[in-house]
Amino acid sequence: MSRDNQKEAKAIVILGATGDLSKRKLIPALNTLLVQGKISPRSIIVGSGRKAMTHEDFRRRFDLTGGFSENLFYHQGLAGLKEFILSRGNFRRIIVFMALPPETYASTAEQIARAGFGEETLLIIEKPFGRNLETARELNQELTVHYDETQIFRSDHYLAKEAVQNLLIFRFANALFEPAWNNRYIESIQINAFEELGVEDRGQYYDQAGSMRDMVQNHLFQLLCLTTMEPPVSTDAEDIRNQKMNILKCLKVDEVRRGQYREYRKEQGIRPDSETETYVEMKLRIDNNRWADVPLYIRTGKATDRQGTEIGIQFKPLPRILFNKKGEVVPNRIIIKVQPAAGIILELASKIPGMETSITTTNMTFCYHEAFGEEIPEAYQKLLMDALEGDRTLFVSAQETETCWKVLEPVLDQGDLFFYDRGTCPETRYPEVWFDFSKYGGVC
């Protein structure tokens, strides 16, 4: 659907609307989109859950602005939900967001199909999409019994972050970078995603998932694909997906190291003998012409000493000539900050002012909030807006999902755990390429 049709009235249904995701992300995002005029004021948002409550009870759960409460309704359960929506208007497009436990996706899709939601319906589901290759295939097969693949939107909110969307612009719209984005110039690539918090109130879910399933299979593999893929033929969703698939087909795991913070087994909802990892360090490679012999590193962990997600590009050292005869000039780096503050940092060699020729490393920085002077849209605003328009670019296909699981299948739950203290970052197995990303924390 084109943006010319964005003002068409639509019905947005949130299943599991009394949960945390709805309160923190979905309703605030829809509120903002309506206030900004991005969606029609004739659109309706219907929360559905097992609890009995009135429309007013439901509205009081949220901090609503701009008359949004007039568009917000509540309906208990799926029985009669389609009829309730039709009583509010004639909507050619109905978006159903499953803010539900992942194990209920297939059965819920069957239930809403039986409730009369058909070709006019788009389904949005959140990761994780299965627990391994077998369960992912089963889920995709069960979903497509009732809905066409074009109606299924697998949401990965990392793809909607501004810094992630800018990756393709940065690479393919700047002649400065594309010629050097290959194994001739780049020595290594690493992606880090660290959290200071532990599992908090997500213990029951997290103990069934772990860092590999919760972060690597979806968020971090998507970042890796966008960082390394070939230029797509166009910005069409399928062209971009095809290039991501080409990377995933060539992606190999060389080494995996799994850790767990020591207090993890005492957290609420965690098994006392749990072998679930809260930290993962991986070494990978891409077996194609562009990236042959360039190692890729992924690190992600909970309860570490800092909060941040970054992509680091390490360029090869200069030859030992001219200013680098002693090999002391630090190689150039590009650091792409995804969160909490979006930006890009270029580390360059420059002369220290003075009579002598001394070289140091200086930064050129691009910070989103400084460059544009406006609030960066929250990721769920972008995802919901694209779903309303039928734009699948920032959503994950069934084939992508299954291929990601295929890459990870041999290493899931494999290897002994090591333990680390809460509030610390485990020592890397690859100190020769380790980025001290903490020094960029104050930038942007």
Cα distance between the two ends of the chain: 36
Taking every pair of Cα atoms in the chain, the longest distance, rounded to a whole number of angstroms, is 81
219 given a catalytic annotation? yes
For residues 153 and 124, what is the distance between their CA atoms, to the nearest angstrom?
5
8 A C-beta contact, residue 113 and residue 147: yes
271-275, long-range: CB < 8 A, 24+ apart:
271/207, 274/207, 275/413, 275/417
Handedness of CA 233, 398, 49, 116 (dihedral sign): positive
For residues 50 and 100, what is the distance between their CA atoms, to the nearest angstrom?
12
Task: Give me the catalytic one of 75, 146, 157, 219.
Answer: 219
Provide the 3-class DSSP secondary structure of residue 313: strand
At a CB cut-off of 8 Å and minimum separation 6, what does 141 contact?
Answer: none
User: How far lies 26's CA from each of 93, 102, 180, in Å?
Assistant: 18, 17, 40
- Residue type for 22, please? S
For residues 52 and 154, what is the distance between their CA atoms, to the nearest angstrom?
29
For residues 406 and 73, what is the distance between their CA atoms, to the nearest angstrom?
41
Q: Which residues are catalytic?
A: 219
